[in-house]
Amino acid sequence: MSNQPTNLQIRNTFDEEFLKRLEKLHIMAQKVYAGQNRAERRSKKIGSGIEYADHRDYAPGDDIRYLDWNVFGRTEKMLVRLYEEEEDISVYVLVDVSNSMMMGQPPKLEYAYKVTAALSYISLSNLDRVSVIPFAEHVTAPMSPVRGKGQIFKVFDFLSQTTIGGATNSKEAFRSFVHRYKRRGPAIVISDMYEEQGFAESLNVLRYYKFDPMVIHIWDEAELNPNLRGDLKLIDCESGRSREVTITRALVDKYRKAHALFMEESENICRTRQIPYFRASIQTPFDDLVLQIFRRGGVVA
Amino acid sequence: MTFSALTLEQFWTLLGAFGGAVVVLYILKLRRRQIRVPFGPLWARVLQTEQTSALFRALKRVISLFIQLCVVTLVILALAHPSIPGGQLTGCTDIGEEKKTDVEPSFTVVAVDTSASMNATDVAGGRFNAALNAARRVLLDRIDGESIMVAGLDTRFRPQSPFSTDVDFLTQQLLRIRPSDAGSDLSVTLAGVRDVLSGKPNARLVLISDGALDQPNDRDVEGLKIVHVPIGETGTTHTNLSIVKLHVRPYLDDSLNYELYYEVKNFAEKPAKASLLLYANPTGRVADDFVRRGLLVRTETLEIPANQSVVGFVPNVEYPGHQLMGKLVAVETDGFNDVLPTDDVAYGLVPERKHLHIQLVTEENYYLEAVLFVRENLSYTRVHPDAFRGTEGFDVTILDRFVPSAPIKGNVLFIDPQGPGPSPIAADGTAALPELTEVDTKHPLNWKVSLVDLNIGIMQKLLPKTSDKVIVRSSEGDPAIVVSETNNLRAVVWAFDIRMSDLPLRYAFPVMIVNTLRWFHQEDDALLTGRRAGADWAVPVSTTANTVTVTLPSGVNVPSPVVDHKAILFGEHMGIYSVVDGDKTLPIAGNFANERESDLASRIVGGEKWAPRTNTVYQRPTPTLIDEWLVADLWKLCLFVALGILGVEWATYHRRWTV
């Protein structure tokens, strides 16, 4: 529990093998869910898309390139072709980079980065705008929105260079986020949800500002079954507060129940606010998690 | 409460040391292993349910310290083997009709026999331990108004406490008494007892002894009431072997071997077989030094008839150094069990032999060379008179028909002194066929020799000075052998050439040479008899200091007063003592050698045998189970309670330390 990973270890996450898995994930997503969700994201605006929508009378000032010359030749009426305009959406991935995410073997943050990269890749493949926003006590140097599949490497670079550490203060961080990003869209929160004040109010902030929050709760099975016995001094990795305890089997059982209750409470916070909630153990392959999110639908792809 | 395994001082010292250590360790406290956890509040939530009262939380550390101190105290108490003297717990010391308001004072000396016979093992646990137990019973039998003194008793009367009514204190002092290797001397010890009881009302001596003592005479017991607590079975004979004598001496011819004389006595009614093992250790002091680190030089097998002694000589015992120990090991057959180990050991000493380096200055004299050649304790160097360069580097120089021109010093034997230098004793002509008639047989040079019928062809007529001593003279009054001592020169002058006599053909010749060499080095071949343990020894010393340092067999150095050139010391135990006399160290062998003590036959001393005074004042009720636990096995109770506290501590530890 006390192993502290370094940025160097995190950077090594995005290797060639990882890229192959992302591509495979993308193909699987297209096969299974092709066309299913596209219409939902089609804008009602009529504009300069490529799919024909309707005609209307020419009005002065209209771009003559959109005149339908075939109709004019047959009927001598000046009509303008109208196309449906496809609108890209902004996907925000809020990654918890606090100290608690550095715990675990491998660290939970490494898993969170993989999930972040996978979701970003699929979103970029769908021509959505993707922003990755690391947060701990506040939002730390967010990534500028990127668009296009080729920008995935920018995401990788950003994640590799993100400053990590600090205590979690999601409410303050999300408040900062909503004021910085005016364009609404899905806000995927990837965190272990270890925060003394809880995530309820911070998720409310996202909802209030019309973002569509989704929570991916990262957890480590080792945290549920701590291998601790005897006289110990427990130090909270974020606050630094310590407590002397004598850990017995009975106490570990109580901790296990408390941890299960905490997980349940976290889920309830989301469920009562109709926020999609995914619980992801770092022992689960990240691509399985991403497919699970697709099955659930509504956020990406 | 009394402690039988520790003194009160030792108890408090241990308690202070370990209690202090616990407090120090508690203050330092073991540093706990630090573990980083991802979410401390979750643990806080778990521990919240373990919360107990604030008062208990505040006291938890003090309670833990208190518990640990209690456990330490109880363990040290258990180690001290505590007991509560009879009846104190149940309040039965003075009960019912035994309580007297008008108590008559009385004085008792409880004397434990510490003589060597009390080391016998024919009683379970040994006679001495049985005596201590009996003494405890006597102390518990104390009556109101009775003041008791505890004392040891062997060849001396050794008070161990003043008169006291505190049985606990007396018991503590009793446990300080140790057995000795001394014999017993009732006349001396009873005189001491009479002195301390002099003028005291209702005085009596409770003598706790095996009775292996002489019966006191009337004068010794006059005005003294003796009550005897017998140890062992009186009137029975015991199987015991003893080394009565062990002497070792060098041979007269100055060889490096020794001759041993011993006497071993069987005090049993049946014959015994035993081995006499001889150990040598130049630095040994006690039996253990000889047996474990010494050299086993000889083993003699003995068969000793019942109630008889066996005397023997062991010739040609060769061993390093000058210290020997004889140890008797009985063959335990047919139920023969040597019950007194003390008298199975004896120590022997001889003067340490010095290896002499002799210079023989002669043109040619095979007689002299032959007699020097066969001596084991010397080496000689023959030098031609022309090559003589002086006496330096040699212990003794023999000048055969030669006197150097240069003055000489040291130890010199002149044989028929003739130039070129001046003779130490002038001569005036010669005498033919002298007849030796006057021999000073008391002089060491003439020890064990007879020269009366010695035939000499020609002899110088020496003219000794008044300071010179003539030890052999002819019928004409001419000196034949003269001893001369000056500041630098110690000289023996033989007035005749040995080749012109029949001396080399006589036994006396080598003996005279040995005597001469020994005289030069003042060696004493007298038998070094051991001294009897348990007596005052007066050891002649040459120092003019008021005290000398004596090293006891235990290795402890003690000062010893010097009175009239004699160091006075009390040899309480057997073994090798050393007296530092200036630059010399005198060894002394302290031996048992006490047939009276070796005869372990017990008998009643005085006329009265001790019995508890149950019909007078004191009566002890039948002890209850609790009484027995507390009196006999209180240490078990201490350990039991300590374990109980530890159990509670273990069971509640988690609860107390996680709040």
pLDDT of residue A260: 92
* Distance (Å, whole) CA B486 – CA B484: 7
Is A239 in Cβ contact with B46 (below 8 Å)?
Answer: no
Say how many domains are in chain B: 5
DSSP string for B194-228: HHHHTT-TTEEEEEEE---SPPPPTTTTTT--EEE
How far B27 CA lies from chain A's nearest CA (Å)?
Answer: 16
Confidence at residue A217, expressed as pLDDT on a 0 to 100 scale: 93
- Give the distance from residue B48's alpha carbon to the nearest chain A alpha carbon, in angstroms: 11
What is the residue extent of each domain of chain A? 7-34+88-296, 42-86
- Which of A2, A196, A234 lies at the smallest CB-CB distance from B43? A234
b (16+ CB within 10 A) / e for B591-609: bbbbeebbbbbbebbbeee
Question: Can you say how many angstroms the Cα of residue B82 is from the centroid of all Cα atoms in its chain?
Answer: 33
Do B556 and B475 sit in the same domain of this protein? no
Pair (B548, B609) in one structural domain? no
Q: Which of B32, B39, B42 sits opposite A244 (nearest CB)?
A: B32
Place of tokens 């360790």: B25
Q: Of B520, B545, B570, which one is at a domain's C-terminal end?
A: B520
d(CA B576, CA B396): 32
Q: Are B372 and B487 contained in the same domain?
A: yes
Strand runs (DSSP E) across B251-353, as ranges? 258-266, 272-280, 295-304, 309-317, 323-330, 345-349
Residue B526 inside a domain? The answer is no
Query: Collapsing DSSP states into helix, strand and coil, what is residue B601?
Result: coil
Q: Which two tokens stand for residue B454?
A: 């010695």
Final residue of a structural domain among B465, B487, B520: B520
pLDDT tens track for B169-190: 888 889 888 888 888 888 888 8
pLDDT given for residue A84 in this prediction = 59
How much is the average pLDDT of B246-256?
73
User: Contact A259/B42, CB-based, under 8 Å?
Assistant: yes
For residues B230 and B245, state if they share a domain. no
Each residue of B134-150: b (16+ CB within 10 Å) or e? bbbebbbbbbbbbbbbb
- Subunit contact A103:B30, Cβ cutoff 8 A: no
Report the residue of chain A nearest B44, measured CA to CA: A243
Contact B282, B322 (CB under 8 A): yes
B36 shares its domain with B57: yes
Interface contact flag, B34 A236, Cβ < 8 Å: no
Residue A113 DSSP SS3 = helix
The answer to the question of residue B92 being in a domain is no
Residues 6 or more apart whose CB falls under 8 angstroms from that of B295 comprise: B279, B280, B281, B319, B320
**Higher model confidence: residue B30 or residue B2?**
B2
Nearest to B481 by CA among B507, B518, B506, B444: B444
- Answer yes or no: do A246 and B45 touch at CB < 8 A: no
Q: Are residues B192 and B245 in the same domain?
A: no
Question: Is pTM beyond 0.80 here?
Answer: no
B243, pLDDT greater than 50 = yes
Structure tokens, B626:
């609790």
Q: Which residues of A touch B30 (CB under 8 A)?
A: 231
Which residues in chain A have their CB less than 8 angstroms from residue B653's CB?
Answer: 246
CATH code of B401's domain: 3.40.50.880
Q: What is the pLDDT of residue A267?
A: 93
Mean pLDDT of B260-270: 86
- Kindly report the CATH number assigned to the domain that includes residue B147: 3.40.50.410
Provide residues of A within 8 Å CB-CB of chain B. 1-2, 4, 99-100, 103-104, 192, 194, 196, 220, 223, 226, 228, 230-239, 241-248, 251, 254-255, 258-259, 262
Choose the weakest-confidence range: B196-210, B230-244, B311-325, B574-588: B230-244
Residues of chain B in contact with residue A241, where contact means CB-CB under 8 angstroms, are 40
Residue B628 is assigned to a structural domain of this protein: no
Predicted pLDDT of residue B397: 92
Q: Are strands A186-191 and A90-96 parallel, antiparallel or unpaired?
A: parallel
Kindly list the distances between the CA atom of residue B76 and the CA atoms of A34, A39, B21, in Å, as whole numbers in the listed order: 85, 88, 14
Nearest to A243 among B36, B38, B44 (CB): B44
Q: Do B657 and A231 touch (CB under 8 A)?
A: yes
Residues in chain A with CB shorter than 8 Å from the CB of B41 are: 196, 236
Domain range holding B153? 98-236+601-619
pLDDT per residue as tens digits for the range B142-172: 887 888 999 998 888 889 888 888 888 888 8
Residues B406 and B341 in one domain: no
Q: What is the pLDDT of residues A155-198, one digit of tens each?
A: 888 988 888 888 999 999 999 999 998 888 889 999 999 998 88
Average pLDDT of chain A to the nearest whole number = 81
Of A7-11, A26-30, B345-349, the poorest mean pLDDT is in A7-11
- The CATH number of residue B278's host domain is 2.60.40.10
| Segment B503-562, tens digit of pLDDT | 899 888 888 888 888 888 766 555 566 788 888 888 888 888 888 889 999 888 998 898
Report the residue from A104, A194, A232 with minimal CB separation from B32.
A232
| Contact between A237 and B47 using a beta-carbon 8 Å cutoff | no
Tell me how far apart the alpha carbons of residues A94 and B450 are, in angstroms, rounded to a whole number: 129
Q: Tell me: do B366 and B297 sit in the same domain.
A: no
Q: Do B34 and A232 touch (CB under 8 A)?
A: yes
How close, in Å, is residue A3 to chain B by CA atoms?
8
At the topology level, CATH places domain A7-34+88-296 in Rossmann fold (3.40.50)
Would residue B627 count as lying in a domain? no
Residue A258 Cα, gap to closest chain B Cα (Å): 7
| B596 in any annotated domain | no
- What's the mean pLDDT in B199-219? 80
**pLDDT value of position B654:** 55
Q: Are residues B506 and B368 in the same domain?
A: yes
Residues of chain A with Cβ-Cβ distance to B60 below 8 Å are none
Q: Do B38 and A255 touch (CB under 8 A)?
A: no
Tell me the chain B residues in contact with residue A247 when contact means C-beta distances shorter than 8 Å.
658
Q: State the pLDDT at residue B92.
A: 41
Tell me how long chain B is: 659
Q: Which of A4, A100, A246 sits opposite B39 (nearest CB)?
A: A100
Q: Do B40 and A235 touch (CB under 8 A)?
A: yes
Which pLDDT score, from 0 to 100, does residue B98 have? 42
Question: Are A246 and B39 an interchain contact pair (Cβ–Cβ within 8 Å)?
Answer: no
Question: Is B536 within 8 Å of B188 (Cβ atoms)?
Answer: no
B187 found inside a domain: yes
> What confidence tier does A301 reach under pLDDT thresholds 50, 70, 90?
very low
Residue-wise pLDDT for B417-447, tens only, equals 987 888 888 888 888 888 888 888 888 888 8
Asked if the bond preceding B82 is cis, omega within 30° of 0, the reply is no
Chain B residues whose C-beta sits inside 8 Å of any chain A C-beta: 30, 32-47, 49-50, 653-654, 657-658
Nearest to A235 among B34, B49, B50 (CB): B34
Q: How many residues does chain A have?
A: 301
pLDDT tens readout for residues A230-265:
778 889 998 888 888 878 888 888 899 999 999 999
